[in-house]
Amino acid sequence: MRFRFNWGTGIALTYTAFALATSAFVAFAMDRRVDLVSADYYAQSLQLDRRMEEERNASALGAAMSVTQSSSRTIRISLPRELAPHATGTIRLYRASSAREDREIALAVDVDGRQDVSLDGLASGHWTVQVQWTALGRGYYVQRGVVAR
């Protein structure tokens, strides 16, 4: 018995190769971890108007509000002096590539409105610093990118 390769055999082999490749890709994709921006992204999207108002409030403070990287492993958060005694909030260090590495720190500025945050213990690479706070009944939000080395 001799095997003959004709157009029907070619179609069958092509279809089989496609099905095997698709199955292999599905098995590969099912094994990959997928991190969302946040676990409660839907609830956060409902608060979008509030967040935009908080960003406008922070922007109105001008240079009095800043998030700067003072060294490769330290960031400094500065609030206006007059708001410092009343400020309460959080500092979130967000890592886009891995939700497991995100950190949240309580905002605790000194009397001058400054707080230094160490990046020690964080993986090297790009991080987003998200500062959200309230003072005197008004909300503020600022977001800046930093690079930990």
49 with 119, same domain: the answer is yes
In order along its 149 residues, the chain shows pLDDT tens digits of 677 788 888 999 999 999 999 999 999 999 887 766 666 777 777 888 899 999 999 999 998 899 998 887 899 999 999 999 999 999 999 988 888 888 999 999 999 999 999 988 888 889 999 999 999 999 999 999 998 88
In terms of residue numbers, what domain contains 45? 41-148
Which strand (E) or helix (H) includes residue 21?
Answer: helix 7-30
103 with 140, same domain: the answer is yes
Strands (E), 6-107: 66-71, 74-78, 88-94, 103-106
CATH code, 114: 2.60.40.10
108 with 135, same domain: the answer is yes
79 with 10, same domain: the answer is no
Work out how many domains the chain is built from and give that number: 2
49 with 78, same domain: the answer is yes
